[in-house]
């Protein structure tokens, strides 16, 4: 699966390299981001920009 930000930037390589952690729900992503002093953001599939498929947290 390929992951994109809301600005159409593909981050699939960041996920594979372990530089971004993926979560399926916003609460888990927000909690992890707080622990790492980071932030979370929604991720989309290229075919449907209106549906959030996951949340990413940079490491």
pLDDT tens digit sequence for 43-57? 998 776 678 899 999
pLDDT beyond 90 at 10: yes
Q: Which domain, by its residues, includes 48?
A: 12-58
**What's the average model confidence in pLDDT over 1-27?**
94
The verdict on residue 1 lying in a domain is no
38 falls within a domain: yes
Three-state SS string over the chain comes to: CCCECCCCCECHHHHHCCCEEEECCHHHHHHHHHHCCCCCEEEEECCEEEEEEEEEEEC
Query: pLDDT tens-digit profile of 23-46?
Result: 999 999 999 999 999 999 999 987
Tally of structural domains, the chain: 1
* Residue 43 resides in a domain: yes
With respect to residue 33, please indicate whether it lies within any of the assigned structural domains. yes
pTM of this structure? 0.84
In a domain? residue 5: no
């Amino acid at each position: 699966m390929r992951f994109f930000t809301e600005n159409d930037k593909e981050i699939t390589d960041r996920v594979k390299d372990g530089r971004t952690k993926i979560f399926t729900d916003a609460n888990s992503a927000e909690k992890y981001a707080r622990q790492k002093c980071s932030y979370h953001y929604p991720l989309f599939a290229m075919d449907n920009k209106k549906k959030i498929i996951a949340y990413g947290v940079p490491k």
